[in-house]
Amino acid sequence: MKYIIAMQNRLNAAKTAVINSLKKQEGQNTIEYIIMLGVVVGIALLVGTLVKNMMPELFENIKNKILGGINSDN
């Protein structure tokens, strides 16, 4: 019987230690903010590059539509 009680006490102590270690976790630290900032900057650079590559074609299409509209009115 003593063996079972000792095992239960050890199990309860282990549960308490795990719960306390989880409760000690606080908010985000500086490293997590730096990583998040790096991801956001990387995505912004990627989107900026894609938009920059598409801009000449977009402006050319707009110019052609404007010129096409002007030429069709004459």
Please tell me the predicted confidence (pLDDT) of residue 50: 86
In the chain, how many domains are there? 1
pLDDT in tens, 5-61: 887 888 888 878 777 776 666 666 888 899 999 999 999 999 988 888 888 888 888
CA gap 56, 53 in Å, rounded? 7
- Separation between Cα atoms, residue 23 and residue 16, nearest integer Å: 10
In Å, how far from its chain's centre is CA 12? 38
| Residue 1 clears pLDDT 80, i.e. is over it | no
Instruction: Please give the Cα distance from 55 to 47 (Å, whole number).
Output: 12
Helix (H) or strand (E) holding 31: helix 30-73
Q: Which two tokens stand for residue 64?
A: 């052609």
The predicted model scores a pTM of: 0.44
Range of the domain at 19: 2-73
